[in-house]
Each structure stands twice: as structure tokens, then as C-alpha cells.
Amino acid sequence: MSTSEAPTMTQAAIKKLVADSVTLALEVQAATIANTSNPNRNTGPTGTPVAKTRNYKEFISYQPFYFNENKVTFATGTLTEDALSWWNAYAQPMGVDQANQITWTELKRLLTNKYCPRTEVRKMEEELYNLTLREMILNLTLEDSKS
């Protein structure tokens, strides 16, 4: 079998793979930050403080992955450093309660616009595609050499 016959991934498959990986990484990060014994957790004040009235146990009791309104409150409650300062600046003019009423989709859009410019996402997608393609070619080459 020649290496030029390696299967290709569609753009939709690559986007889904990247989105699923980012979602999983965010969920793992949120769980890690919720652990109060985490030495990497930023417990010092940054920016203008915004009152946080919820905790992880309460958040989980709402079944957050089924009800979007709770995701925003929890996600913004786990922000640290620059992201926390950015959220505080966003929420301060309208008030925390109103800011927490935005949809999960809107929060993801705001965060994506701030921290994942389309050019950077495109570079990561291309890198992932090239790594996947290289791995598939390597596997095919190894299989050919065993035959």
C-alpha cells in the first residue's frame, strides 16, 4: 500500500475533534480548580472582586451538564488571573446577576473571541491535522514494512 493513499479527515471531523478535546480539557480544569487543596489555585484577589455565591457541590447538584443556566455561573466562578480580571470587567457594569444570565453559547463566544482568535484556532487545527496525517502515514509505513 502506498503512503499517498492515506485516509484524510474532513474539516468537520477535525473541528469536532478539537472542540471535544477543548470541552474535555475545560471540564478537567474546572474539576481541578474546584479542589481547594490545589496549590495552583489562585486564591488571592485579582481585579475588581465579583461576589461568588455558588460552590462546586451546589453546582453539581443542579446537574450542570443538562441545564445550561448553571454552567455560566460555575464556569465564571472558576476563572483565575487574567480571565478573572476580564470577567470582572465584563460583569461589573451590568452586575453579576445579570452577567450570569447570559447563555452558555454566549459565554463560549465571548471567551473564544478573547482567548482563541480564529487565526490561532486555524493554526491549531492545521497542526492537529498534520500530526494525525503523519501518524497515519507512519502506521501505514510500519504495516508495509512488516509485510
**HEC readout, the chain:** CCHHHCCCCCHHHHHHHHHHHHHHHHHHHHHHHHCCCCCCCCCCCCCCCCCCCCCHHHHHHCCCCCCHHHHHHHHHHCCCHHHHHHHHHHHCCCCHHHHCCCCHHHHHHHHHHHHCCHHHHHHHHHHHHHHHHHHHHHHHHHHHHHC
Query: What percent of the chain shows pLDDT beyond 90?
Result: 1
Which pLDDT score, from 0 to 100, does residue 127 have?
Answer: 92
116-141 tens-digit pLDDT:
888 888 898 899 988 888 888 888 88
Which pLDDT score, from 0 to 100, does residue 147 have?
Answer: 67
| Residue, of 56 and 2, whose pLDDT is higher | 56
pTM for this structure?
0.39
